[in-house]
A and B are shown apart, each in its own frame.
Chain A
Amino acid sequence: MSLERFINQAISSWMSAEGPDSDIVLSSRIRLARNIKQFKFPTLFSNEEAEAIIEKIKARVEHSSFSKLGEMELLLMDSLQPLQKRVLMEKHLISPHLAENSTHGACLLSENEEVSIMINEEDHIRIQCLFPGFQLSEALNMANEIDDWLEEEADYAFDEGIGFLTSCPTNVGTGLRASVMMHLPGLVLTHQMNRIIPAINQLGLVVRGIYGEGSEALGNIFQVSNQITLGKSEEDIAEDLKSVVSQLISQERSARQALAKTSNIQLEDRVFRSYGVLSNSRIIESKEAAQCLSDVRLGIDMQYIKNISKNILNELMILTQPGFLQQYAGGPLRPHERDIRRASLIRERLKMEDQELGG
């Protein structure tokens, strides 16, 4: 398969479309956890119950589809190859838990991949809406509509006092997890994240890196999300997160301005060195690739680099993960082989940019 075709198939709308504040906010996500009253939760339910839940959702879709979403595709985890599951995971369309540990797990996916409804994850139903840029309210509205549509035929486990009942008490109440993925190179370069993260934690929000392990935030990409699901309305949870994200956006913008003022040439040097590494290396580890991609994206946002499309960061952060590299290679790769593949995929992708502009 040609790289162009591979990329076109691999890219979901949240990675390529331009959203509000997309120079800093890569994507906005809403997740609602729901359970059906008559069945035991997934940690204890029987195979029959698990199958019945899938049937119930399937019937709902067949009975009256949710017109806004177009055709929905049902993917059964049991009938997917490990690599296919890995790729869905790397695109953030399913969770690692659904891919690896679920019993009769399934996923109902909208055509543009903005909506994915996970079935038999930690809860019976997890509605996920993933929008490009800073669009939390839009994503929440969409999730609410899907929720209402599903509820027309499913008796949810709901308690007047404590709300939607979930498998884990950390999700009870609204069952809502709202999160925003942000690219914050300015705050990292000016060493401000160590100060900012505890301050945000104090507000009941969690900040973490989404690529890399432990305390790393590869590619300077952070996810900010709510921790509390009980006692606040969905709108208030989203608003509280939005106000913190807005503050982060303006702090990131002023950090970039300060960098441009105080170390313009150093920054420009850094950006172009990273561009050089990406367009010339023959072996590259994910950590170095992520750092260079972050630099190049910053360079695009700050107009040092003018002829590369912005979504290169989103796209290549996803496409250079192990699952995608192996899918592109058409078979399993050892770590060292991946580093070679990663380098060549990035080089080819950057060449495509040149051709598009030339032609």
Chain B
Amino acid sequence: MICQECNQRPATLHFTKVVNGEKAEFHLCEKCAQEKGEMFMLGSGSGFSINNLLAGLLNIQPAFQGSGQDPFQQEKVLQCEQCSLTFQQFIKVGRFGCASCYETFKDQLTPILRRLHSGNSSHSGKIPARIGGTIHLRRNMDVLKNQLKEMISKEEFERAAELRDEIRKLEKQLNADQKGGE
């Protein structure tokens, strides 16, 4: 397919944009898409359109298109138990129904998250103080364990012993927290 804007380069990106209920399709090359993309961003108000991106993914990933073709393949309908949102519905609206959706659609979601967040798919920011309680401890422990390995390899055994004590202390705290939390 040839890019509909310049009629020169091959179209590599496919968007659909819904304007007043009318669906408009765009088939663009990288260069024209970048220009169009800026238009989308300027027009939509709340950043760029997730719906366009998801619709684009549907075109790119044939695996998603397959579902729905065979009505007897019920097990293919992926649905959140908590809020009943199906994966197809998510693709349409671009919004999840509840926190459990993330778990339900985990496998489908990872490539989408990568695409949205420059290849990232895991959180490395803030951890909520209260409900994230033991995560802090576990992260600290990972850091200390890495330091311990390093010290051992450098044969700095005095520092290694200190680190080991710290790790033990954290382990105790972690066990106590987990029991307390149950």
Contacts and interface: CB of A to CB of B under 8 A. Distances in A.
Interface in A133-165: 144, 147-148, 151-152, 155-165
Contacts of A198: 34, 38
Interface in B52-85: 82-83, 85
Contacts of B94: 168-169
B126 A160 contact: no
A43 interface: yes
Contacts of B96: 41, 43, 165-169
B112 A169 contact: yes
B1 interface: no
Interface string B8-34: 000000000000000000000000001
Residue with the highest number of chain B CB atoms closer than 10 Å, among A162, A166, A198, A234: A162
Interface stretch (A69-77, A200-208, A322-330, A334-342): A200-208
A309 interface: no
Contacts of B42: 208-209, 214-215
B53 to A, nearest CB: 9
Contact of A156 (B85, B93, B131): B131
B99 to A, nearest CB: 4
Interface stretch (B117-125, B146-154, B158-166): B117-125
B123 A230 contact: yes
Main secondary structure of the interface of A (DSSP, over half): loop
Main secondary structure of the interface of B (DSSP, over half): loop
Interface string A59-82: 000000000000000000000000
B125 A174 contact: yes
Contact of A230 (B45, B47, B113, B128): B113
A214 B123 contact: no
A40 B83 contact: yes
25 contacts: A40-B97, A43-B96, A43-B97, A44-B85, A122-B95, A151-B131, A156-B128, A163-B123, A163-B126, A164-B126, A167-B95, A168-B95, A170-B116, A173-B125, A174-B123, A198-B34, A201-B34, A208-B41, A214-B39, A227-B48, A230-B113, A231-B120, A231-B121, A232-B124, A233-B126
Given A40-B98, A163-B123, A208-B42, 5 more contacts: A41-B96, A169-B50, A169-B94, A169-B113, A234-B126
